[in-house]
Structure 1
Amino acid sequence: MEWQPSPNDLQILIDLLFQSTSGQKEVQDKIRTELERFHTIPEYNNYLTYIFQCRELNLIVRNVAGLLLKTNIRNYFPKMPRNVQEYIKAKLLPVLSDSQIQLRHTVGNIVANLIKKSSYGEWKELLPFLLQALDSNNEVLIEGSLYTIELLCEDTKEKLDMEEYAMNILIPKLLVFLQSGSPLFKRKAIISLSHLIHVLPGALILHMKEYLKSIFALGNDENPEIRLNVCRSIIRMVYKQLSFLMEYIDEIIKYMMKASCDPNEEVSLEACEFWSAIAESKQVCAQHLRPFLPQLIPILLNGMVYSQEEIDGLDQTEDNNMKPDREEDIRPSAFFAHSSTKGSVSSEKVVSSDMYQEGQQQQNSSGNNDDDDDDDDDDDDDYDDGYSSDYEDMWTIRKSCAFAIDKFSEIYESDYYLAIMLPEIESRTKPENDWTKRESAILALGAIADGIRGGLNKYLPTVVPFLINSLNDPKPLIRSITCWTLSRYSQWITYEGRDQFLNNLVNNLLNRVLDNNKKVQEAACSAFATLEEEASDMELVPFLPQILQTFANAFQKYQAKNLLILYDAISTLARSVGPELNKTDYIRIILPPLVTKFNTIPDNNKALLPLFGCLHQICASVGVGLGNFIVIFYNRAIGIIQASIEANHKHMQNPKLCDKPDSDFIVSSLDMIQGLTEGIGAGIESLVSNCNLPALLLECMRIGGFDILQSAFALVGDLSKNCIVHMKPLMNEYLKILSSFLNNETPTVCNNAIWSISEICLKDPEQVKPFIPAMVEHLIKIISIIDLHRGLLENTAVLLGRLGGLAPDYLSQHLDRYCKRWCLIMRRKYDDFEKDSAFRGLWLIINANPNNALKHLMYICDAVGSWKKMDPSLHDYYTKLLVMYKTAMGGVWNEFYDQFPAELRSILDTNFFNTVQPQQLQ
């Protein structure tokens, strides 16, 4: 007997659903409470299904019931009673013929979510129903079924591919719909088939020629949505199944050039994505696109010109620096530098210098992203680049075309590519041209900079002066794009072009840092940060007075958003010039505006985070030159850490009443103290002695979270290095936590744990020894992973070497498991104290069991030979070691030694064997 609802409960639920559309908070809260009661009824989802499918009820009530049912299926379907699951399935599909499109589409979403949570095998009636519906004369039912099929192809394509019998029927039916007189049916069929490209069912392979022929025939359809999806389908084929297109590639290229100029901007944008898609297949691009480049490049350059709509969406006011930023434009956390990564694992740069980087991350929706079209669950936010003005968040034709010519510059030989590009660019830079065309030419110069670095060098003595002059153009958008383009050539300017252009560039770029237009300020500040990164340690030192004064003056002009970029430029400068910043005159210029901000921003304001990120680097570079501010900065950081720990305790005790504190405040404060420790070295001891920092640090480590742990581990290492006496009482607890993160699941956390333990090995070796067996197991696993970051591998090798210094007998027992990898990693590490200490540990390991090391002797010698200048005592150790092996092997040594590469033998003979003194043989 079919389930029937209780009339009383049914009416109560109908009334609640109707009232749920009220905008009053009190009503919403009451309804939410009442609905919670229904959740306790096992048949609650039966009630929702009944209401949803009942055509006599109010449309609003039915729609709300359907949306609630969709949510419940997505969250709870596997846990629903079997009879409830079957009731839902039985009642859903007839709603696909409902006259209301929103209800039909809700059915489609429910069905897709249900299959995601189960399988087609558990709903055997579904596909036969949909396939039969496609043959119906009822266009409403066909639309609902096609919409459902579209979602199933998108969300369950892998499961659908397993239904071979159904696919053999479905794909021919969809191909028929490509010929339909209904644009809506054609569009849904195109979209469904394009989703299946990713799994390429056998039925689609069987009908591939028919499919492609149908797609190409729709390329000139009068409906722009059809043309858009034709482009999208071709692009998906390029990414996933390019081989099927090769027979038609020339015609496809011609079509896409035409589509890139489509009067409909959405179609044009989609078509432009084809060029970066085909550039992913470099060989195909190099061979088949090459003949078309002379026609294609002008199309792409034209696409890089701002449209009128884009211009209207940008604030072009010349003097707008007094206009406050919108709150949504300011995202301090996006600019918050997390800089406590130790060793060679570098942290990400705060502000990207790539103005079209969104596309490199996103590649739009055509190739790799299926969350598009009609799916109402699509909530992707892939365009976010740290800014939030409407235009800058959008992926546009301009950015797509710029990205394409950038990709092409990496594929084609520079002389050929520049022979096409430069005349086109030059023709667009003429003064009589409209400013938008000149601006696009400057963008193009920036776009090709990375791909053809060497090939463009001979033109740069002409190009760079043009760009520097363009920094003073009357149009702010030209000034801003010129800043970005110059940043792309900053490496060449700071080296080959240094004497000729660096002074002029610095002066003009600093003028733009103080521009009256906010967009120019932003671009100039970012460009200057890039220049700081590219310059060697001393290149910018002669310019420090004017740089610092400009940055100090910028505090008076900048609104909130550009202050974030200014902080980054200041911290990058400090990192670049290091101790050169520690001069009284320089400190008097740059510190006052930073301190003013420091004193005016409350402890709980996120604007404090990027400021702390900036001060962290200032502290590390200036150190003792900060004077009394050392204590001020330190105490505030300690206070914020204490407050955050207390807030976390309250949250743990009562999570409903007390919010969890933002971990970024702990991280930024730990980083501030780490910067101070790096800057003043052993001077940190007096500050630590007057507070409970070691205990607070342990609390932070117990709170956890990868961001906190990364910074806390770095600080443990720095404090152990500089004031071990205060760390020893809690060292055993530190080591328990540090050793538990010796894995590669979170590389930056693991890296800092390893680096920290390495420092503790030198300062408190006895407390490390009990942990050595467990540590060695983890470290051997890490060092065996080939594709990890080089810095992490080097830090791992250093720690193994230092542990060898503490327990050589134990490490020698496991030498076979890590020796070869250790040597291959350490031979690439530059000579420094870390390398020295690691090699001393290896020497002790080898001496503990020389026979076990013999099979690895070639790799050991290769690593030893990598030294450019070895400490005399270490050189003496290894000289004796090599002579010992040579002597012990006697007559077989020459045969064994001949197996070494000739270059290595030459190094060993010159630097070791030929330097042996008689006393070294004793």
Structure 2
Amino acid sequence: MTHAPMTNSTLSYGLKMNWGEWRPQESILKNIEETLQLALVPNSEAQKTVQDRLNVMQNLTDFSNYLLFILGSSSYSEDIRSLSGILLKNNILLVYTRFSAEDSATIKNECLRLLKDSSREVRMSISNVIVIIAKDNLKTWPELIPFLVKTFVAQDEFSEISLTTLFKICEELITSQKPQDEIYRITKEVFPKFVEYVAVDKCMVRQDIVRLTNQFLQDYFQVMKQSVDLGAYLRNVMRLANVEDMDLQKHICHTFVIYVENQEPTLLPHLHDIICYLMEKCRHEDQDVALQACEFWLATTKLNTCRDILTPYIEKLLPILLKNMKYSSTELNMIKDSLGADANNKDLSKDISPFHMKERNVGDGEEYFSDEDLEGSNDDFDDFYVGWTLRKCSAASLDSIACKFGEELLPLLIPLISEMLRHSDYLVKESAILALGAIAEGCMLGLKSELPDLVRYLICSMNDEHSVVRVITCWTLSRYVSWIVSIRTDNPEEFFVPVMTILLKHFVDDNKRVQRAAISAFCIFQEEAQLKLIPYIDFILEGFKYGFEKFHCRSLYLLYDAIGVLAQSVGSHLSKEEYVNKLLPPLMSKFTELNNFCDDHFIAVLECLSNVIPALEVSFLPYSETVYLHCLQLINDTLIACINYQQYPNEYDPPDKEPMNVAHDVLYSMALGLKTHFVKYVTNSNLIYLLYTTMQDGSNLIRQTSIALYGELIGLCYPFLASNVNEYIPLIIKNLDEHTDGVCNNAAWVIGKLCSVMGSNIQQFLPEILNAFVHILRAPAIARTMHKTVAISLCIIFFVCPDVTIPEMDVIVKNCCMLVRNVRDSDEKDLAFRGLCEIIIRHPEFNKNYFIFFCDAAASWINIRIDLKEIIRNVLLSFKQQCGDENWAQFYCQFPEALKMKLHDLYGV
């Protein structure tokens, strides 16, 4: 095949040419045609030649003109025209923004013309081009949507492509994150026609219309409420309720869920029919249809009117939910490889979930973690890779319904569950145990008299021959541990010890799913039991020891969690030599054998150590140097990798910073646990200089943990930090940003620590600090840790620099009082109160109406130092004296009785 050569003069052709005047150059047109023809040859050599030519053609400034010309000309074959359309779409993606307004208008007009081309292939191609142009240019193409709607409504041979194009544009709109007014501009034109058309008998795209409308209702309900008659849409959807198409049935069920989630009033007249329909669909043989119908009950439980809505149907609904809580054949097939004795098999890649560490914030001298109690690994009664199923949705719905109805459900539920427990099919029995767990939170009080027998039954079920029964029993036991550990009995052997023992026993179950479920349940048991575990620490560590010997990856991750929870539950009671000798050797063995810092297993061990070290205190000293050096090396290596990537991004991959974050966390824990013994490591290493870098890292988590570590070092070895502390303070001030909660909290805490050791020497930095603190406290969210920490640090500033002035001093002091009252007794609270007293004494203009907040805060102390008690007492008496007896009596009568009693008991006022 011959083709005309392309020269530089060829490439520059048409550079300034207007579209209206544009004419193709024959040699170029021929060349492009031949290239498109060659592209149809299924030969690798031919395809390489085509790619080379296209790379050259891409430089033509009017390449899009040629492609559009070929696409719009019926003299070419459909294959050539269609291929030209594909290339045009790709080319427009690259060059459309360079077109003049006139050229763009011409292209758009030509696109609309070709949407009515006689060739279906051409229409499909040009539809894709339209969608690409419209993606970022809908505002500058106001005639597009009306044209498509008009063509669609005409119901001729071009309606299908117009509808397809509208669908594509709307789907792009869903993910575009455009402003709501722009979304509304489209929805008000398009969706009223869709709502009408979905009810037309000959409509062949009902499923697509309902699916797309649901997507917009899900994401833009209020916009859609303004755009369409939601009552009409609901009525039209209900007319489709008996269609056989299962995908459409799912979408119809989803419509009802969206309406109830948004408490749409047009649902109410049809509620009875819809509920009856959904109960029927919950019995559907197709699990996906049944699941979508079941979502309605879960959505309804979120409403305040849930009881009113569901009460007339609850007797029929409960058996449906219970039946659907049985494992489906699909679920059983997905977990079939993990039902037997698989404890000696290595974990498959799908069994190993990523490790997620907890975030650390510090404040009030203690640690704060954000963690979801029953998310992720604790939801192990069904493996996470099975996904959201009808079984899980039914269990969640029963759980939520039980929380709304409470013990009223029990007369209906107990006979049903009891019958299921006696069933010969172990899968039915398993679903009954799941149901017992699901109702635990809502029906605990009503089950009180049954709980002894219930717990004994669950203990027996832990020895069931079927692993799925043992798995679900672990979870259900975990739902009742609050009763198990709190029941008042002189005999812990009755429930506490048997439950603890049976869970530990199944740490070494021959099935890995049971192992994981037992560990997860035991973590919850430990969290509830807390100090009640102390007599059994040795026994628990024996169970952990077997776990180290037997577990594979995923079970090991959970074991590390269990060790961390034990440490947090019993604290320094874990630091006895015999306990340390049982726990640390296997844990440190895992630590030293893992050399890959980015390995999830290594991160899990590190995070476990960060939880354990504060409890072990100086007992950790024999292992501390190894851990310290590993952490330091990890931080060094990561920072070097960051520099390499920044300088040579094409040669190096961006480093994973998560291990470095956990390393900071471990070092922080070592500082907490080892206290002054940690100082020798700091003074003989470059840790402080590394922190100067990591405190400026782009990751919030890295800055959060490095600032926390620096703050702890202030208390341990400030003289060592003092020589260059002025270089670090600006970095800390820069992180006083309320939009990064954990970072801001830690930075504010560090400011308080610095004030307590620097005193008035911090004066030069106060303007910036006070500006940031006041900004954060102007509208405090009282429950947030960050605001409490800021308030404490600001009050410490008042103590060390009592002459400071800030705008709206009385409002800020009032806010500080409200926040500090919720802080537990501590050295920081002591300093904060001394600051509050100083500032109130020095500002007699302090708003008298706010003084009640100081009184309330003063009453929050449990154990207060004698000298501080005297200071507060003098402030109270001084205020009383200034008021005079009559005004004080009026003021004092506003106080709640509990506050009056506390002030009298503490301060004699």
**Same-fold call, TM cutoff 0.5:** yes
Partners of 1:709 and 1:749 within 8 A in 2: yes
For residues 241-285 of structure 1, give each alpha carbon's deviation from its aligned partner in whole angstroms, at most 9, with x where no partner exists. 5211111111111111011112222211111111112222221x2
Deviation at residue 707 of structure 1 after TM alignment: 1.0
Deviation at residue 437 of structure 1 after TM alignment: 1.0
Matched residue, 2:577: 584
The 1:311/1:19 distance shift into structure 2, 3 A limit, reads farther
Deviation at residue 452 of structure 1 after TM alignment: 3.8
The 1:270/1:388 distance shift into structure 2, 3 A limit, reads closer
Give me the whole-angstrom Cα distance separating, in 2, the residues matched to 1:309 and 1:859: 60
Moved more, 583-592 or 341-350: 341-350
Partners of 2:782 and 2:819 within 8 A in 1: no
Partners of 2:151 and 2:162 within 8 A in 1: no
Task: Give the residue type in structure 1 aligned to 2:838.
Answer: L
Partners of 2:339 and 2:511 within 8 A in 1: yes
Matched residue, 1:878: 872
Matched residue, 1:518: 512
Give me the whole-angstrom Cα distance separating, in 1, the residues matched to 2:555 and 2:184: 53
1:447 aligns with 2:466: no
For residues 565-623 of structure 1, give each alpha carbon's deviation from its aligned partner in whole angstroms, at most 9, with x where no partner exists. 11111111111111111111111111122111111111433221111000111211112
The 1:495/1:356 distance shift into structure 2, 3 A limit, reads closer
Matched residue, 1:918: none
1:894 aligns with 2:885: no
Query: 1:489 pairs with 474, 480, 489, which one?
Result: 480
**Equivalent residue of 1:662, what SS?**
coil
Deviation at residue 774 of structure 1 after TM alignment: 1.7
Query: 1:187 pairs with 195, 198, 207, which one?
Result: 207
Give me the whole-angstrom Cα distance separating, in 2, the residues matched to 1:43 and 1:816: 70
Matched residue, 1:144: 164
For residues 857-892 of structure 1, give each alpha carbon's deviation from its aligned partner in whole angstroms, at most 9, with x where no partner exists. 222112112223321101101111222222233355
Matched residue, 1:279: 301
Residues 412-491 of structure 1: pairs in structure 2 closer than 5 A: 412=405, 414-430=406-422, 432-491=423-482
Partners of 1:143 and 1:185 within 8 A in 2: no
Partners of 1:442 and 1:482 within 8 A in 2: yes
Give me the whole-angstrom Cα distance separating, in 2, the residues matched to 1:347 and 1:95: 60
Moved more, 523-532 or 60-69: 60-69
Query: 2:357 pairs with 332, 336, 339, which one?
Result: 336
Matched residue, 2:148: 129
Could you state the TM-score of these two structures normalised by the residue count of structure 1? 0.87
The 1:41/1:123 distance shift into structure 2, 3 A limit, reads farther
Matched residue, 1:620: 614
Moved more, 886-895 or 583-592: 886-895
The 1:710/1:95 distance shift into structure 2, 3 A limit, reads farther
Unmatched 5+ residue regions in structure 2?
A: 1-19
Matched residue, 2:589: 596
Partners of 1:97 and 1:104 within 8 A in 2: yes
Task: Give the residue type in structure 2 aligned to 1:460.
Answer: L
1:738 aligns with 2:738: no
Residues 168-317 of structure 1: pairs in structure 2 closer than 5 A: 171-172=192-193, 174-182=195-203, 184-197=204-217, 198-199=220-221, 207-283=229-305, 285-314=306-335, 315-317=337-339
Give me the whole-angstrom Cα distance separating, in 2, the residues matched to 1:302 and 1:530: 28
Query: 2:522 pairs with 514, 528, 532, which one?
Result: 528
Deviation at residue 5 of structure 1 after TM alignment: 6.3
The 1:526/1:21 distance shift into structure 2, 3 A limit, reads farther
1:411 aligns with 2:404: yes
Query: 2:348 pairs with 305, 326, 350, which one?
Result: 326
Moved more, 289-298 or 450-459: 450-459
Residues 360-375 of structure 1: pairs in structure 2 closer than 5 A: none
The 1:354/1:653 distance shift into structure 2, 3 A limit, reads closer
Moved more, 97-106 or 589-598: 97-106
For residues 604-653 of structure 1, give each alpha carbon's deviation from its aligned partner in whole angstroms, at most 9, with x where no partner exists. 33221111000111211112112321111111111111111122122222
The 1:336/1:211 distance shift into structure 2, 3 A limit, reads closer
For residues 286-312 of structure 1, give each alpha carbon's deviation from its aligned partner in whole angstroms, at most 9, with x where no partner exists. 102111011001111111111111101
Deviation at residue 97 of structure 1 after TM alignment: 6.5
Partners of 2:621 and 2:674 within 8 A in 1: no
Give me the whole-angstrom Cα distance separating, in 1, the residues matched to 2:360 and 2:43: 46
Partners of 2:68 and 2:85 within 8 A in 1: no
- The CA RMSD over aligned residues, in Å, is 3.6
Give me the whole-angstrom Cα distance separating, in 2, the residues matched to 1:613 and 1:28: 53
1:722 aligns with 2:728: no
The 1:781/1:113 distance shift into structure 2, 3 A limit, reads farther
Deviation at residue 83 of structure 1 after TM alignment: 4.5
Residues 654-669 of structure 1: pairs in structure 2 closer than 5 A: 654-669=648-663
Deviation at residue 186 of structure 1 after TM alignment: 1.7
**Equivalent residue of 1:851, what SS?**
coil
Give me the whole-angstrom Cα distance separating, in 1, the residues matched to 2:502 and 2:465: 14
Residues 500-649 of structure 1: pairs in structure 2 closer than 5 A: 500-536=494-530, 538-606=531-599, 607-649=601-643
Deviation at residue 766 of structure 1 after TM alignment: 4.5
Deviation at residue 850 of structure 1 after TM alignment: 2.5
Partners of 1:528 and 1:569 within 8 A in 2: yes
For residues 520-576 of structure 1, give each alpha carbon's deviation from its aligned partner in whole angstroms, at most 9, with x where no partner exists. 11111111112122222x211122112112112212221112221111111111111
Task: Give the residue type in structure 1 aligned to 2:799.
Answer: G
Give me the whole-angstrom Cα distance separating, in 2, the residues matched to 1:573 and 1:18: 70
Give me the whole-angstrom Cα distance separating, in 1, the residues matched to 2:121 and 2:700: 43
Give me the whole-angstrom Cα distance separating, in 1, the residues matched to 2:677 and 2:47: 59
Deviation at residue 708 of structure 1 after TM alignment: 0.3
Give me the whole-angstrom Cα distance separating, in 2, the residues matched to 1:28 and 1:603: 44
Give me the whole-angstrom Cα distance separating, in 1, the residues matched to 2:50 and 2:782: 53
Matched residue, 1:365: none
Moved more, 645-654 or 144-153: 144-153
Query: 2:138 pairs with 115, 119, 125, which one?
Result: 119
Deviation at residue 150 of structure 1 after TM alignment: 5.5
For residues 136-163 of structure 1, give each alpha carbon's deviation from its aligned partner in whole angstroms, at most 9, with x where no partner exists. 3326436535634753775589457644
Task: Give the residue type in structure 1 aligned to 2:245.
Answer: N
Matched residue, 2:16: none
Give me the whole-angstrom Cα distance separating, in 1, the residues matched to 2:100 and 2:585: 68
**Equivalent residue of 1:398, what SS?**
helix
Give me the whole-angstrom Cα distance separating, in 1, the residues matched to 2:645 and 2:311: 62
Task: Give the residue type in structure 2 aligned to 1:839.
Answer: F
**Equivalent residue of 2:346, what SS?**
coil
Give me the whole-angstrom Cα distance separating, in 2, the residues matched to 1:744 and 1:787: 11
**Equivalent residue of 1:535, what SS?**
helix
Moved more, 513-522 or 820-829: 820-829
Partners of 2:526 and 2:565 within 8 A in 1: yes
* Count of residue pairs brought into register by the alignment: 875
Deviation at residue 218 of structure 1 after TM alignment: 0.9
Matched residue, 1:816: 810
Task: Give the residue type in structure 1 aligned to 2:321.
Answer: L
Give me the whole-angstrom Cα distance separating, in 2, the residues matched to 1:101 and 1:298: 52
Give me the whole-angstrom Cα distance separating, in 2, the residues matched to 1:203 and 1:302: 37
Task: Give the residue type in structure 1 aligned to 2:873.
Answer: T
Unmatched 5+ residue regions in structure 1?
A: 358-384, 916-922
The 1:722/1:474 distance shift into structure 2, 3 A limit, reads same
Deviation at residue 801 of structure 1 after TM alignment: 1.0
Give me the whole-angstrom Cα distance separating, in 1, the residues matched to 2:846 and 2:83: 78
The 1:225/1:437 distance shift into structure 2, 3 A limit, reads same
Task: Give the residue type in structure 1 aligned to 2:151.
Answer: Q
Partners of 2:417 and 2:432 within 8 A in 1: yes
Give me the whole-angstrom Cα distance separating, in 1, the residues matched to 2:741 and 2:815: 18
